[in-house]
Copies of this chain bind each other. A is one copy, B any other.
Amino acid sequence: MSTISEVAKEAGVSVATVSRVINQNASVTPETQKRVNAAIAKLNYHPNVWGRSLRRQESRVLLIFVPNITNPYYANIISGIEDTARRNHYNTMVCVTNVDKERAKEYFDLLRCGSADGAILLDTTKNDKSVPRLAKNFPVVQCCEYCTDENISHVSIDNLEAAKQVVQYLVSLGHRRIGFAGAVNDFISTEQRETGYKKALEEAGIEFDSRYVAYADEDYNFLSGIRAVKELLCLKDRPSAIFCISDMIALGAIRAAGEMDLRVPEDLTIVGFDDVAYATMFKPMLTTVSQPGYSLGKTSCNMLIKQMGGAAPNHMFLEHKIILRDSSAANAVE
């Protein structure tokens, strides 16, 4: 590992000149430039990032907080963030929190100790108190999930509206007994999708029936999806359609239906949320809501960079899309 002063000696110039050549921001004779570049190449010199950061007081690293990377839904978002970051000469560091507050707190220290300049959070919960505290001192953008504090930037889709549209679509298919498979967690999207479900029912003049609502585990896992949906399917007047707040739960719903000898979509319509790749690998292929993952990531990252440049916190909602496939059909139950 060679240093700037070794390069300077090799090229017969001062370290200042080498620095100027590296950063291309000051006048250096083309000829000296050539000599310096030759020395850099010869010594295989790479500017040491610690020295530079210490001097510049910035790390050019952005943090990405993800609850887990098992969910393919995050892959696109992360791609969007990373591409944008790299285009702006930032490196990224994926921090997998596993929904563990302790671990997240440790990762927050990466900001406090200077390891990173800002963070994009994909795992904020509704009433999270640590995020506002962090955002007071560091540039932070929330993506997809966000807390109720108005002063912190966020980028997401309009979950309430999306859920409403799903239920309106189900109503348009003739369904009246529409179930809802949610999850027990503190994500705002979870809440908003349930609210959207209720609003759409109300607007359609269908009375809300709490027996038609069931909940999977915190992390929307497959097995708990099966369990939750079975609760609904065991009812005397079982729903003819079920809106699931994640594809994973919807996959569980298909399995649950199969185990109870119900055909999808003939006997039961199922709609998911997220449009992960696996939504099309199953038969029947899943009707679901598609989020613009890559754009969500890209927009978040751009917002963060602007904010680090002094811009005020901002809120953005991107467009979702309902993808019609095989798991939904007109109500034929009675």
Contact = CB atoms under 8 A, between A and B. Distances in A.
A70 interface: yes
Contact residue range for chain A?
A: 35 or more
Interface in A218-253: 222, 251-252
Nearest to A137: B1
Contact of A255 (B48, B86, B255, B283): B283
A69 B59 contact: no
Contact of A283 (B53, B252, B258): B258
Interface string A57-92: 001000000001110101100110010001000010
Nearest to A94: B94
A75 B68 CA distance: 8
A46 B96 contact: no
A132 interface: no
Count of this chain's copies in the oligomeric assembly:
2
Nearest to A251: B281
B48 A113 contact: yes
Contact of A78 (B96, B252, B281): B96
Given A78-B69, A91-B115, A51 B49 contact: no
B70 A82 contact: no
A1 to B, nearest CB: 7
Contacts of A115: 49, 91
Contacts of A44: 112
B91 A94 contact: no
A86 B106 CA distance: 10
6 contacts: A68-B75, A69-B75, A69-B78, A70-B72, A93-B93, A278-B278
Interface of A: 1, 44, 46-51, 53-54, 59, 68-70, 72, 74-75, 78-79, 82, 86, 91, 93-94, 96, 106, 109-110, 112-115, 222, 251-252, 255, 258, 277-278, 280-283
